[in-house]
Amino acid sequence: MSFDIDVVRRLGDTRVALAARVGEGATVLFGRSGVGKTSVLNMVAGLLRPDTGRIVVGGETLFGDSDWGGIDLPPERRRAGYVFQAARLFPHMRVRANLLYGAADDVELTDRTAFLGIAHLLDRWPRSLSGGEAQRVAIGRALLSNPRFLLLDEPLSSLDHARREEVMQAIEHVRDVLKLPILMVTHDPEEAERIGTQIVRM
């Protein structure tokens, strides 16, 4: 599966523009804060509409301006698993309910929790989780929605070294074992080099 992204969006006085065709594995959008990396993820997810351009994932057009047929699929039809910088778990739901929220089915729950090392957390409340545990739960929730691809927005930036390593290994497992295409944002060069099959500098 490939990402073919050629978009322009003006945000206030800032113009976000990206033209990139990237392939399998994990593609990292790398650059300093404020250059529009997260905006690109939001455009791919359907949460932000480009002014012009085209977004094609795995041969399917998710967005195309009037020159490309005027296509703009709603977010729920894009089948993107999105993991934000903060885990954004529902505080009133235990981990099991968070994981199953929006899940295609619960058949894969055991496999996903085992692979992410979070099976022992199922009955816990989000407030009792460490940062690394919460992010692994967030990744699990995204995977259980049966996505075609995964969007990761600075998923390691708020973690200490030990928790960061836990989540890094989980992302590598998604990339190498599940082979789910990943589009990830970071401003950390070490993360970009370790996770990225391809790096797009913005």
pLDDT, residue 87, reads 84
Look at residue 5 and tell me if it is in a domain: no
pLDDT, residue 127, reads 95
Find the mean pLDDT for residues 161-182: 90
pTM of the model: 0.90
Tokens of 74: 């709603």
Distances (CA, A) of 156 to 55, 124, 145, 184, 195: 26, 22, 21, 11, 11
Pairing mode, strands 182-186 and 149-153: parallel
Q: Please, is 136 exposed, middle or buried when counting C-beta atoms within 10 Å of its C-beta (0-12, 13-18, 19+)?
A: buried
Look at residue 192 and tell me if it is in a domain: yes
pLDDT, residue 122, reads 95
* pLDDT tens track for 121-132: 999 999 999 999
pLDDT, residue 126, reads 96
Cα torsion at 70, 76, 80, 85 (round to 10°)?
Answer: 110
* Confidence band of 11 (pLDDT split at 50, 70, 90): confident
Cα–Cα distance, 92 to 18 (Å, whole number)? 38
Q: Which residues pair with 182 in a beta bridge?
A: 26, 150
Rg (CA), the chain: 17
Look at residue 54 and tell me if it is in a domain: no
* Residue 172 belongs to domain spanning: 24-39+75-201
User: Domain holding 173: CATH number?
Assistant: 3.40.50.300
Distances (CA, A) of 112 to 30, 98, 108, 147: 28, 13, 6, 13
Q: Please, is 128 exposed, middle or buried when counting C-beta atoms within 10 Å of its C-beta (0-12, 13-18, 19+)?
A: exposed
Q: Please, is 202 exposed, middle or buried when counting C-beta atoms within 10 Å of its C-beta (0-12, 13-18, 19+)?
A: middle
Cα–Cα distance, 70 to 67 (Å, whole number)? 7
Number of domains observed in the structure of the chain: 1
* pLDDT tens track for 158-170: 788 888 898 899 9
